[in-house]
Amino acid sequence: MSYWKGIGVGAAMAVLLLLGACDSTQPPAPGSKTVFNRRNDPGAIRDLMKSAAEPAPQEGIAAAILLDTSGSMKDPIEAAGKQAAKLQIAQKALLNVLGQFSNFARKHPEKKILVGIYDFSTRRNQPSCRQVVRLGPPDVKSAESAINGMMPSGNTPIGDAMITAKKDLDATGLNRRHILVITDGENNIGYLPGDVAKVIVQEPEPLRAAIYFIAFDIGAELFEPVRQAGGLVLAADSEKQLTGTLDYILTGKILVEEPPPPAAPPHPVYRKK
């Protein structure tokens, strides 16, 4: 091979490697901290959210609560004057949330209420979003071991988890749908949460879901695209703030008879300056 031909082959290989590195659909190698986000494709997002079942619309509340179980959730944070892993704090908060749903369901037996708990993170040979507690009537006792069994590991596919949750919510046919995300990290693989939120809020009214984000021990400004799309973005930097923020969302947004009057959250809502 001549010198110039060798240069040409080498350049071509370099271009192919560069194109491969820029392919945002490729997952990162294990342990890699490289960000791999899929390009904004509303059509692809809609197709992925499409549920095979299309039940007749009916009155009721369907809520999907998505908990980040990426590796950083093992890091400690303030909890009742001590330090505890963020995942441990969030697990405790989820059980409290399920308890509130359960109490509301007992007081309103005429209402249909379904709650599902999901964890999301990249895991070898597993989907990036997993249904930890089946989307069904709230039952704290049966959910406790499953919630406490969640473990932190992997990357943070927030947008992909939202797609999974929305598909499951649509399959219920209930007319009041809610997606609540608790995360301590920025999306670093899969569809961007802001892009997914845009598609969800543009759905027809019967299919639309309300979106709530809790930035847990991370700057809420990272989720500005979600807020711009119409989601509510709140911050929580401790166990007390996480519990208070979840209470605010449940009692002021989800478990209400009629749209509530404006109310102040337990601590300032993030707003772009």
The CATH number of the domain holding residue 150 is 3.40.50.410
Q: Which phi and psi (to 5°) does residue 111 adopt?
A: -100, 140
Tell me the mean pLDDT in the region 137-151.
96
Q: Which two tokens stand for residue 48?
A: 């992925």
Using the predicted structure, report yes or no on whether residue 52 has a pLDDT greater than 70. yes
pTM: 0.82
The Cα 79–Cα 158 span in angstroms is: 25
- Among 31-40, 159-168, 238-247, name the one with the lowest average pLDDT: 31-40
E strand map for the chain: 36-38, 58-68, 76-79, 82-85, 113-120, 129-136, 174-183, 189-191, 209-216, 232-236
C-beta separation of 181 from 159 below 8 A: no
Q: Which residue has the higher pLDDT, 80 or 196?
A: 196
Q: What is the mean pLDDT of residues 37-47?
A: 85
Q: Average of pLDDT values for 157-164?
A: 96
CA-based R_g, the chain, Å: 20
Total number of domains in the chain: 1
Copy the structure tokens of residue 181. 């995300």
pLDDT at residue 170, as a whole number: 94
**195: buried, middle or exposed (CB in 10 Å: 19+, 13-18, 0-12)?**
buried
Rank 8-17, 52-61, 233-242 by mean pLDDT and report only the highest: 233-242
**pLDDT tens for each residue of 12-36:** 444 333 333 333 334 444 333 445 6
Q: Residue 188 falls within a domain, yes or no?
A: yes
Spatial separation of the C-alpha atoms in residues 174 and 221, rounded to whole Å: 32
Nearest of 266, 216, 218, 267 to residue 93 by alpha carbon = 216
C-alpha to C-alpha distance for 43 and 225, rounded to whole angstroms = 18
Torsion, CA 261, CA 262, CA 266, CA 272, rounded to 10: 160
Quick one: DSSP state of residue 41? -
Percentage of the chain modeled with pLDDT above 90: 71
The arithmetic mean of pLDDT across residues 59-81, rounded, is 94
Predicted confidence (pLDDT) at residue 212 exceeds the cutoff of 80: yes
Which range marks the domain in which residue 120 is found? Answer: 52-254
How far is the C-alpha of 263 from the C-alpha of 248, rounded, in Å? 9
For residue 176, being part of any structural domain is answered with yes
In a domain, 190, yes or no: yes
Question: Is residue 182, in this structure, part of any structural domain at all?
Answer: yes
What pLDDT score was predicted for residue 123?
A: 93
| Section 23-51 average pLDDT | 64
* 20 in any annotated domain: no
259 belongs to a structural domain? no
Helix (H) or strand (E) run with residue 270 in it = none
61, 64, 179 from 209: Cα distances, Å: 11, 10, 7
185 domain-assigned: yes
- Does residue 46 form part of some domain? no
What is the model's pLDDT at position 78?
A: 82
